[in-house]
Amino acid sequence: MNHTRWKLSRERRAAKGYVEPPEVIAEREQIRLAHELGQLVHDRRAALRLTQSALGERLGVTADEVEAIELGGMLPITADLLVRLAVALEVAVDLHVVADGRNTVVFEERAA
């Protein structure tokens, strides 16, 4: 079977001329960005050899909330959350937001 012929439902609808509402597109982007942030948090926590509980203590949240962040389930992403993550994970956070494109978030290790 050739899976390259498979298309997402939204791709099939787009081929028929359907255009998603702007709020759906924005929500999809927020979810994608939350997953990207979650992966960064997980990778940095692992690099620092911190448990979810230890990171939670640094952030002032529970281990379950750290898990939610790592799984991309902490929405919306707020400036407060990014600042607290930067301090707790000892990184600089670079959030690049563009009006009509793909937003990005990057962690940069701070110099000691």
Picking from 109, 108, 84, the residue whose alpha carbon sits closest to that of residue 94 is 108
Domain regions of the chain by residue span: 21-109
Residue of 100 and 23 predicted with greater confidence: 23
Whether residue 85 has pLDDT greater than 70: yes
In CATH, what class is 21-109?
A: mainly alpha
Q: Note the pLDDT of residue 4.
A: 59
Whether residue 47 has pLDDT greater than 90: yes
Picking from 98, 104, 112, the residue whose alpha carbon sits closest to that of residue 37 is 104
Q: For 53-78, how does the pLDDT look when each residue is reduced to its tens digit (9 = 90+)?
A: 999 999 999 999 999 999 998 888 89
Q: Note the pLDDT of residue 112.
A: 55
